[in-house]
Structure 1
Amino acid sequence: MSEPNVFLLPDLGEGLTEAELVNWLVAVGDEIRVDQPIAEVETAKSLVEVPSPYAGTVAILHGEPGQTLDVGKPLISVLPAGAVTDAPAVAETSAETAKEAVAPSSEAAANTYREEEKAGSGNVLIGYGTSGGHGPTRRTRARRDGIAPAKPASLTQPAAAELRPAVSSPLVRRIAREGGVDLSSLKGTGAAGLIMRRDVEAALAGQRSATAPAPLATQPGAATLGEPAASYADIDSRTGLAIATRTPVKGVRKVVAANMSRSRSEIPEATVWVDVDATALVETRADLKKRNPDHTPGLLAFIARFVTSGLKRFPELNTRFQDAADGETKEIVGFDGINLGFAAQTDRGLVVPSIRNAEKLSARELDAEIRRLSKLARDGKAAPAELGGGTFTLNNYGVFGVDGSAAIINYPEVAILGVGRIIDRPWVVDGELAVRKVVELTLVFDHRVCDGGTAGGFLRHVADAIENPASALADL
């Protein structure tokens, strides 16, 4: 019989090493073509469709929705189109594939991936280019109401000759090892008998139930409310309080946490700020909106235009501090261009899309890019290339109703400009007190790349442009 082609979860770019399987777009027994989307996965950057590099019949789906998969581990097994199979052979192949999923060597994974690129399309992610051919596609069984067809027993049951427990990921093995769970004693509930994280956690819960001491006495009044006392296992040892929730740190939150921790630990940052009279900018935009209501840039786009102007005048803030090629000295790397990142809050967490070559765009063009990338980020559809590669970040935290913030630099950049809310405040104009539209600008910068004079000069440049937008835009 023909051996199935095992497609490994491909490199998703930007240094990402894992992804959460959101949804399968195919089922076991389906016939698929080259580059056909087979699954939706959510990385720490965005939601993407993964295409198949092979044509043929789906034999095994290595994972279930909600499971976190490591890059380089099996994602799907596909029998070549027209391959003749028999049940024992397919079961044996399933067992071998499951064994490989336990602990494939990095070299083997890399070789397999290279072979996939030669044999298949090379289309790692939709829109990233393809070099292969195409194959036929049809569904062998209808799917009703979104329910996948039943899987043949030969494809879902592990082989009797299997010598090692089929484990879906290194994380599962680690949880089992730390909890003292014997994997060989568990029956996997995943595809092809794979042992899933939930199987190990269920075994651990059984152990705790068997060994936990009797419940602690309830606090005064608890019994009258009819609430059960918390068990010892649910009490935090440091505070003595009951643990209400446990939230795994993954996806966007995991990347943000790592990035912010590295920024604070490596960058000697300093902060400068200034209050700015934004009345003229607000009035200028209002006048433009009266004349052209459908194509007037937002205030953030105007500020972004002033930022790119400032970075051209003070290029030290558009750099990166890094190790030199010799590995012993440090260097400051400057860029021929500005990739302006802007912080965008989404349901998945904070992401930073970047506008490529922002210094070449007008305020209206910057506004269009901000709107386009914001929508992609909110929908989880932004490509990895659109969520990385920034050289400077603009953070509009005024949308949250706050005036200022000492933000954390978006590593490996060297500066970030924060914009607070624009509010009415008393202001002295020509020696008299007046009510003006005032905004606070905050610049956090890496003190290794420049001193306060440069940081202050840049901040003042942006502030002056906001206070005198007509002359500033005329000069740009």
Structure 2
Amino acid sequence: MAVFKLPDLGEGLTEAEIVAWHVAVGDTVAVDQTVVEVETAKASVEVPVPFAGRVATLHGAAGEVLAVGSPLITVEEAANFVEPGVVTPEGSGNVLIGYGTPAAQARRRRGRARQAPVAPSTSDRVRVVSPLVRQLARKSGVDLRTLSGTGTGGIVSRADVERAIARAAEKPARKHIQDTEADQRIPLRGLRKTVADKLTRSRREIPEATVWVDVDATELLRLRAALNADPAAPKISLLALLARFAVAGLQRFPELNSRLEGDEIVLSKAINLGFAAQTDRGLVVPVVRDAHTHSVEELSAALAELTGQARAGGLAPADLTGGTFTLNNYGVFGVDGSAAIINHPEVAILGVGRIIDRPWIVDGEVTARKITELTLAFDHRVCDGGVAGGFLRFIANCVENPLGLLRSL
């Protein structure tokens, strides 16, 4: 018997939740075949097994949390489990797909693994590919075991869950709710637990202060429209323009691109720009590394790519760490301002509210303009209001006169 333990998933992670098993007891597995999908505090990860043979024991069910180093799966290794003519592939030595393994090698391993015969599973486990589908079902109170999957091979898809939600909504609501009905209890773990821990630490350790200013974004919107007028040119997002302004501001006020280590303020040479992205798993902060080396077009492409990966649940742990400053566009939620919490161990976060029509005085006349609010929360241990105010005023000037300032960036 060969016992495979939950491997070190990197980035200081100590545990993972089992999302779905891809094998059952009695199934035959090949070397490097993906056997389980787990969810850490940072990402969903497919875990392959380094042994070939027959599955003897699964050490945990979907929804259980295992510590790194705990038994994950036991495989009974035996030569007679390999069908005649089937060559057992050699292991690469890499345990996790996506952690230091080139994509081409991963594809070759998966292709070889599919050659191994797999005994039909007699398990009644739910076949779901995406952890986002499970998340949707949990949030909506849908029991996946009651659904018949319409996807390939009977896999339960997002559409299956959404139809179940719609059917439940059509049922008449009960007129009376019994007082004895139990409250719903949701375990605080995974991404939500990591976010909670970081925000709690930030509030506990950082004496933050906040400055804000209303700015006229009319010219910024005109500039973006002009940049995107060419249908053949890459599209530039407003977030990319704001990110470029933030990078320029951090180069002028490096105190805000730093971290505290003991009695020292460490000024970061690189600007690794984090940005808040809302997903089905919750709020995540992907990081554009070396943002100071990117053009506006490159920033726009990087932001779009990371946002797509975040919403699809495809971000690697490395994509969510190492930020030195965070940009938060809470205007997408239809709000004007926010007293944001700094993303520890960073020392500042810039927030941007919604852009709306408001009366504004231009050349002595009241006229309708596109107005937004910029908010900067900063660690008062690192700098005083002069630095924070100077940075925010610089960003405001960029928003109000973007063309003139872009020439100098």
Distance 1:409 1:40, change over 3 A: same
Local SS of the residue matching 1:297? coil
Which residue among 100, 108, 112 is the counterpart of 1:129?
A: 100
Partner Cα separation in structure 1 for residue 296 and residue 190 of structure 2: 33
For residues 162-216 of structure 1, the C-alpha deviation after alignment (integer angstroms, 9 at most, x for no partner) is: xxxxxxxxxxxxxxxxxxxxxxxxxxxxxxxxxxxxxxxxxxxxxxxxxxxxxxx
Alpha-carbon shift at residue 140 of structure 1 (Å): 4.3
- Normalising to structure 2: TM-score of the pair? 0.79
Q: Secondary structure at the match of 1:291?
A: coil
CA distance in 2, matches of 1:400, 1:5: 51
> What is the aligned partner in structure 2 of residue 351 from structure 1?
284
- Which residue pairs with 2:52 in the alignment? 55
Shift of 1:229: 5.0
Q: 1:149 aligns with which of 95, 114, 122?
A: 122
Amino acid of the structure 2 residue aligned with 1:280? E
In the alignment, what sits opposite 2:165?
none
Once residues 235 and 272 of structure 2 are traced to their aligned partners in structure 1, the CA distance between those partners, rounded to angstroms, is 23
Relative to 1, partners in 2 of residues 1:265 and 1:414: Cα closer, same or farther, differing over 3 Å?
A: same
- In structure 2, the residue corresponding to 1:475 is in which secondary structure? coil
Are the aligned partners of 2:22 and 2:36 in contact in 1 as well (CA < 8 Å)? Answer: yes
Aligned length: 346
* Partner residue, 1:269: 208
Structure-2 separation of matches of 1:400 and 1:294? 29
Match of 1:159 in 2: none
> After superposition, where does 1:454-469 map in structure 2 within 5 Å?
454-469=387-402
Structure 2 residue 347 is the aligned partner of structure 1 residue 430: no
Answer yes or no: is 1:72 the counterpart of 2:83: no
Does residue 30 of structure 2 align to residue 33 of structure 1? yes
Contact 1:46/1:383, CA 8 A, preserved across alignment: yes
Aligned-pair distance for 1:124? 3.7
Is the Cα–Cα contact under 8 Å of residues 141 and 149 in structure 1 kept in the other structure? no
Residues in 2 aligned to 1:259 and 1:436: alpha-carbon distance in whole angstroms: 38
Matched, 1:313 2:246: no
Closer, same or farther: CA 340–81 of 1 in aligned 2, 3 Å:
farther
Matched residue of 1:341: which SS?
strand
For 1:307 and 1:35, locate their aligned partners in 2 and report how far apart those are by CA, in whole Å.
44
SS at match of 2:79: coil
Q: 3-state DSSP class of the match of 1:273?
A: strand
| Partners of 1:55 and 1:134 within 8 A in 2 | no
Instruction: State which structure, 1 or 2, has the greater radius of gyration over its C-alpha atoms.
Output: 1
Q: Share of identical aligned residues, percent? A: 60
| Contact map agreement 2:27 2:119 (CA 8 A) in 1 | no
Q: Which residue of 2 aligns with 1:94?
A: none
Deviation at 1:9, TM superposition (A): 1.1
Alpha-carbon offset, residue 351 of structure 1? 0.6
AA partner of residue 295 (structure 1): P
* 1:228 shift after superposition: 4.9
Task: Measure how far apart 1:458 and its partner are.
Answer: 1.0
Unaligned runs of 5+ in 1: 85-118, 152-224, 235-242, 324-329
CA distance in 2, matches of 1:372, 1:258: 27
Which portions of structure 1, spanning 4 or more consecutive aligned residues, are displaced by more than 4 angstroms?
Answer: 119-122, 130-142, 225-229
Unpaired runs of at least 5, structure 2: 82-89, 125-174
Q: What do the CA deviations read for 1:92-124 (whole angstroms, capped 9, x no partner)?
A: xxxxxxxxxxxxxxxxxxxxxxxxxxx965424
Aligned counterpart in structure 2 of residue 415 of structure 1, from 348, 367, 376: 348
Give 1:149's aligned amino acid.
T
Aligned to 2:407, the other structure's residue is in SS state: helix
Structure 1 length as normaliser, TM-score? 0.68
Structure 2 partner of 1:13: 10
Alignment-mate amino acid for residue 34 of structure 2: P
Contact 1:21 1:41 in 2 (8 A): yes
Hey, what's the Cα distance between the residues in 1 that align with 2:123 and 2:284? 39
1:16-64 deviation line (CA, Å, top 9, x unaligned) = 2222111112233333333322111111222111122333332221111
- Cα shift readout 1:334-379 (whole Å, capped 9, x = no counterpart): 2221110000111111110000111111111111111111111111
- SS of aligned partner of 2:99: coil
Q: Once the 2 structures are TM-superposed, how far is the Cα of residue 244 of structure 1 from its aligned partner?
A: 2.9
Distance in 2, matches of 1:11 and 1:245, equals: 33
